[in-house]
Chains A and B, each alone.
Chain A
Amino acid sequence: MTLWAALIATAAGCYLLKYAGLAAPRRLLDNPWLRRFATAVPIALLAALIAVEALRGEGQALAWDAARMGGLGAAVLALVLRAPFLVVIIAAAATTAVLRALGVG
């Protein structure tokens, strides 16, 4: 039940964040400090999430999974080539799966 409560609370919070944007005065965007910080937060978070998820090991340990890293390398390549989002995702999963089938990682 704790899990359900956390899921409901987080979902409600995410909704309120969206609603706050639609309902708040738009001139908030004119504050350069607020805008710069608010734009930078997702950049820091996304970079952190990429690093932590890519190097996730058992428990709190970090681990280098060669197959998974290969998959992310393929995703980077797809992004450099400006491939559609679907191709980026499939490249990552397929490369990881193939490398694993070949015994890498």
Chain B
Amino acid sequence: MGIGVAVGAAGLAFGTAAVTAGLSPAQSVFLSLFMFTGASQFALVGVIAGGGSLVAGAMGALLLGARNTLYGLRLADVLGWRGARRALAAHGVIDETTAVTLVQPDRESARTAFVTTYTVLGGFWVSTTLVGALATERVSDISVFGLDAVGPAIFLGLLWPRLREGDGRTWLTALLGAGLALAATPFLPSGVPVLLAASAALVALIGPDTEAGAPAGENRPEEVRP
């Protein structure tokens, strides 16, 4: 349940950020219900808040959401679902469900863990998004609550375990990504600098394959955050 409360806090912050960016409460809840991948949602409303193009915002959200594809690849054999069940389960493939599911000893407990985490988190995420969105509509200045620091803090919490387990290349990728985005921000429309920063990932292709087996940040999924 601890993880549910943490997600609830993030959901409040997302509802707030979304409404501040100009989304309606219905649109905010729609994203939490159907997009259901926090970092991408924050990235998208961040671009909208900055007055950037919707296409740039969508591209950033999708690029960030592509890590769920990696999670899905890992979960496929563990869960072993086909057909309609697989299609339904796909919606729940996110950082937290992957983290909890991959540490289970067998398929039965993995399935139980996946479904439990998915439904508990989903419930918290959607309901707190609604609360945050409705509350923000009624508060004139949200900056007094410091909620503008929550978005970057969430990204930081996601990046941290990857940096801690990564090598020099990981740090270089992160620094180059941040530097590229900052350098481009004054000149390019909101959202585009972050897309440009994705090219920093090419650094990872330099040099020999040091990690035989699992790459940094993905090999210890229990450390992955929402």
Contacts and interface: CB of A to CB of B under 8 A. Distances in A.
Interface of A: 2-4, 6-15, 17-24, 26, 28-29, 32-33, 35-56, 59-62, 65, 67-68, 71-72, 75-76, 79, 84-86, 88-101
Interface in B36-71: 36-37, 39-40, 42-44, 46, 48, 50-51, 54-55, 57-58, 60-71
Interface residues of B, number: 112
Nearest to A5: B54
B70 A45 contact: no
Contacts of B72: 18-24
Contact of A92 (B6, B76, B150): B150
B139 interface: no
Contacts of B120: none
Contacts of B188: 60
A36 B152 contact: no
Contacts, number: 323
Nearest to A105: B143
B154 interface: yes
B186 A60 contact: yes
A-B pairs, top 8 by smallest CB distance, nearest first, are A21-B72, A96-B146, A44-B177, A40-B204, A48-B197, A71-B149, A48-B181, A97-B146
